[in-house]
Structure 1
C-alpha cells in the first residue's frame, strides 16, 4: 500500500513513518500540511494517516476534500482530542478509523492498517470471483448452441442485458430458464450486485410472503428473530422468480403492489422498505392461458410481461444436440480429471434420433451417466441409457385406425386443457362442432 502521513510535527511524523516502514511492501510518504497532501493525491494513496490539527486546514476540511477527489482512499484520523462527538462526526463523514495520540498510537495504527490490508485482499478476491462468474455466464459461453432457434434467443438476451426492463422467460422444463436469467444478470450493469433466485412452486403458499418480503420478530409462531426477505437480499441486483405461474392468487396482488411502489413491508410490520431490484420471471406454463383460466391476475401479467423470451425445446434445436453433448462430456472429464472422451458414430445417431422430452437437462444427465459407464475413451451406443421413447413412438406402437388415433389425440388434448373444447379446437385446428359431436357420441 502507498501510505500518506500528514503531520506538522516533523519528529512525530518521522516516528510514525519509521514504524510503518517495517512492512517493506508498503511505501510511506510524509506531508507537513493539508494542502501538500491534497496537491499530491494524484499519486493515488491507499491510506492517508491524517493529523486532525494542521496549521493550514483542519482535519475535517482535508477529509472532505479527499473524499470528493477520491472516495476510495481510506483516511485514518490521528488526533490529540478524545472528544467522542468529534470522532463520531468524522467517522460519519467517511473516516475509516479515529486514533487518539498516546503511547499506544503506533500499535493501534499498525493494527488498523493490518485490518485495511486484509479488507483490501478480500475485496480483490471478491472482484476476481465476480469477474470469473461474469466470464462463466457470458452469453456465448454459458448457453451452448448454433442453431437458428438459439441464435435468435441470443440476440434477445443481449438486448435484455443492456436494458432495465423486466424479463419473462418461458419454455419447457429443462430448457435452461435459470441459466438465461443468470446470463442476463451477469452481463448487465447490475452484475456486481446480488443475483437471488427462488422457485415459487417449492415454497408453501403460507410462507411465500415471508420468504419474499421477510418478517419481524414475533410476527407469527416460530418467528424468533427478524428475517430479511429475498427482495431486500437482491437490493441493487436481480431477483429471479422461477415458476411464477404457481404463485397463489392472493400473493399475486401483494407482489404487484411491491413492483408498482418498489417497496415492501415485512410480515408483522407497517413500515415500508424501499427496494431496487430488477425482476426476472420464468414459467413452463402459458401465462396468457393462466390469465384466461382465472388463475393469474391480468394486471400482474402485463406488469411482468416486459421483454418475453421463449426458449426453444431441444427437439427444435437438432443441430445443437451433438454440440451440447460434447460440451457436457468435456466439462465432465475436466471436473473429474479424466482423459478426453469421444462419441462413436452409433452413439451420435442414437442421440440425434431421440426427441428429448426432458430437454437440455435430460441430455446432460444421459451423457454424464454414459461417461460413468464407459471403460474406454469412447462412448458407444450401449452406454447411452435411461432414454425413454418419444411420445410419438409410444403413440404409434399400437395398430389403430386413423380415426382411432385422431380420437385419442383429441382426448389427450381435452385432458391437458381441462376439457376446454374451444381451446382444444383452436390448438388442433378442427371445428368445435366436430369435438362436441364426438363427445355426444361417446367416442372420446
Structure 2
C-alpha cells in the first residue's frame, strides 16, 4: 500500500469536534482526511473508496448503526471506528459484535485513542495486502506456463489432464519415472484450484521411517509415547482445507494403508494416543514411480485403497520422449543459473545442442538441470560447448544406447568401445566377452570408428 493513499473519512455532525479530529489525524502527512457532517454526504462519497471511516453514533439524519450497515452493504471490507457520547457497555458490545472495528467514547483521551486505533488498522490492512500479493505471486509462480516448460505433443496431452484436475476436487494420481517433476505437477494443480489460498503439504513417504509415519501423518497427543511431551498435529490436519501430496505412496506399508483408507473414507482422523475425532477437508494427490496396479497384484498395495486414491491418473512423459523440450528446459536452467550468479546467461553451441538431444536422460528433468548447471560453470566463454557437458547418470552406459536413435553399426561401435574400456584396451578379451572376432574390432579401429585412446 502506498503511504500517501490512506484515505480516512470522518463523519461527525458537531463541526467543532469534527475539526479537532480532522486536525489531529492530518498531522500525519500520509493520511488523506476528509470531514463529512452527515450520513448522506458519507454515502455519496463511498465510491472514492476510503480505507477507514470514523462514525459519530448520534448523527441527525441517520443513526450510526444504520449508517454502519449501509457502509458494509456497499463494501464489507472497510474498517469502521464508532465514536459515541454513550458509555453504555451494551451498546459498544452490540456494535463490536456487528463488525465495528473499534468503539471509542467521546472524552479528553478520544483523539489519542483514535490515533492509536488508526495505526493498528492501517498496519493490519498493510499485512492483509501483503498476504494477498504473496498469494497472487505464488499463484503466478505455479501457473502452468511458468512451472511446466515445454511444447511437445506428449506434454500438451498432460496439460489437458492437469487443467481438468485443477477444476475439480477429484483425487489425482501422478505417475512417471524418477525426475519427471511429479511434485511440480502436484503444486500446479493445487495453486490453480479453488484451494490455492490454503496449504499445500507435501509428504515423501519414502523419506520417513516406518515407525514414525503414522504420527507424522495423523499427529499425536501428549504422552502418546516416550518423548511426546506435547500435542502435535500431523500433515493431514496441517493441510485441512487445502491439499496433501503423498509422494512415493507405494512405499507405505500395508498396516498404515488400512489406516489411511479409513481416514479417506470417514473424512476424519484420530491422533496417535488420543480419542478425539478430527474432521477433515483435504484433497489428496499421490505420486509414485512404480506401477500401482502391479503392486496390487503382488500383494504390496491394498486394492480398496488403490481404487480410493487413483482418481484422475496423470502419467508424466519421460524427457527422452519430449523432443525439443530438452533444449527449452536447458535454456531455462541456464537462465536460472545466470540469475543466481548475477551474470549474463550463456548460449548453447550447435554441438552442445546435439549432445543434449542425443542423450536418453534416464534421470529426466532433474538430471538435465544438474548437467546444465555444471556445464554453465565449466564453460569458459559465452557459449557452452559439447566438451563442457558431462553426463553422470548412475545407469550403465549400455542401457542408455537403447534409447538413442543410431544405426545398428553405430550401436555396435558404442558397445565395443565400452567393453574395450572395461578391459583396458585388450582387444582379445573384448572379442571373447562379446563373442565376436578380434579382426572385427581391429577393422573398426583401422577405419577410425573406434579410437584406441577412447579405451
Q: Residue 134 of structure 1 corresponds to which residue in structure 2?
A: 139
Q: How many residues align?
A: 402
Selected match of 1:337 from 342, 365, 388: 342
Q: Summarize deviations over 1:111-135 as a string: whole Å, max 9, x none.
A: 2211222222222222222222222
Q: Summarize deviations over 1:166-219 as a string: whole Å, max 9, x none.
A: 211111110001111111122222323322222122222333333333333333
Distance in structure 2 (CA, Å) of the matches to 1:124 and 1:148 = 40
Whether the 8 Å contact between 2:14 and 2:37 is mirrored in structure 1 is yes
Q: Residue 285 of structure 2 corresponds to which residue in structure 1?
A: 280
1:225 aligns with 2:202: no
Selected match of 1:170 from 157, 171, 175: 175
Whether the 8 Å contact between 1:160 and 1:167 is mirrored in structure 2 is yes
Q: Summarize deviations over 1:201-251 as a string: whole Å, max 9, x none.
A: 222233333333333333333333333333333233322221122223222
Q: Residue 370 of structure 2 corresponds to which residue in structure 1?
A: 365
User: What pairs up with 1:16-55 in 2 under 5 angstroms?
Assistant: 16-32=21-37, 37-38=42-43, 40-54=45-59
**1:33 Cα offset (Å):** 5.1
Q: Summarize deviations over 1:242-293 as a string: whole Å, max 9, x none.
A: 1122223222233233333333333344333333322221111111122222
- Rg larger in structure: 2
Distance in structure 1 (CA, Å) of the matches to 2:286 and 2:317 = 17
Q: Residue 242 of structure 1 corresponds to which residue in structure 2?
A: 247
CA RMSD of aligned residues (A): 2.8
| CA spacing shift, 1:254–1:97, aligned 2, 3 Å | farther
Whether the 8 Å contact between 1:355 and 1:390 is mirrored in structure 2 is no
Distance in structure 2 (CA, Å) of the matches to 1:82 and 1:400 = 100
Structure 1-normalised TM-score?
0.81
**1:39 Cα offset (Å):** 5.7
Whether the 8 Å contact between 2:158 and 2:314 is mirrored in structure 1 is yes
| CA spacing shift, 1:120–1:150, aligned 2, 3 Å | same
Whether the 8 Å contact between 1:3 and 1:28 is mirrored in structure 2 is yes
Q: Which runs of 5+ in 2 are unaligned?
A: 1-5, 403-414, 420-432, 437-455
1:392 aligns with 2:399: yes
Q: Summarize deviations over 1:284-328 as a string: whole Å, max 9, x none.
A: 111112222222222221121111100011122233222211221
Q: Residue 306 of structure 1 corresponds to which residue in structure 2?
A: 311
Q: Summarize deviations over 1:104-157 as a string: whole Å, max 9, x none.
A: 221221122112222222222222222222222221221111221111111211
Whether the 8 Å contact between 2:360 and 2:400 is mirrored in structure 1 is no
Structure 2-normalised TM-score?
0.79
Q: Residue 106 of structure 1 corresponds to which residue in structure 2?
A: 111
Q: Residue 161 of structure 1 corresponds to which residue in structure 2?
A: 166
For the residue of structure 1 that corresponds to 2:224, the secondary structure is coil
| CA spacing shift, 1:352–1:218, aligned 2, 3 Å | same
Deviates more, 1:182-191 or 1:384-393: 384-393
Distance in structure 2 (CA, Å) of the matches to 1:88 and 1:205 = 53
Q: Residue 153 of structure 2 corresponds to which residue in structure 1?
A: 148
| CA spacing shift, 1:401–1:85, aligned 2, 3 Å | farther
Selected match of 1:206 from 177, 199, 211: 211
